[in-house]
Amino acid sequence: MAIKPDLPSISDDLATARPRPNLRALRPREEITDSAVEANSRSIGEHWGASTRLSRTEEETPLTSVRLDLPEYVDRQLRLKCVTEGGSKAYYVLKALAKDGFEINEKDLRLDRRRRGKLR
């Protein structure tokens, strides 16, 4: 059986304290333009073979919360339609408003608006 060598003492590493950085001496660096950051990202990405493209997020329409009192039988039908067809109540309300002549953007007619994010 091989003899294990003694481990170095941990107290040697703890004995020498590093000097604390002088944070007041730090100065903000000069402003870097977005185009310079983008160019640098592309060059690094090309060097390492990484994709540096970010998908553009489309601008989302701000939402508002609305409370609506409906007869129970209408709500039951609406819930059943949501379950069978996979849409949300807001989708079917917006769709009905569009049929009635309200101007509804096509991008706002989504079956499941919950994937969109928080209300604004």
Evaluate the CA torsion angle 35, 37, 38, 44 in order and state its sign: positive
Average pLDDT over residues 109-118: 64
Whole-angstrom CA distances from 116 to 12, 27, 99 are 55, 41, 23
Q: For residues 94 and 96, what is the distance between their CA atoms, to the nearest angstrom?
A: 5
pLDDT in tens, 91-105: 999 999 999 999 999
Mean predicted confidence (pLDDT) in 35-48: 87
> For the segment 56-70, what is each residue's pLDDT rounded down to a tens digit?
667 778 888 999 899
| 114 phi and psi angles, rounded to 5 deg | -65, -25
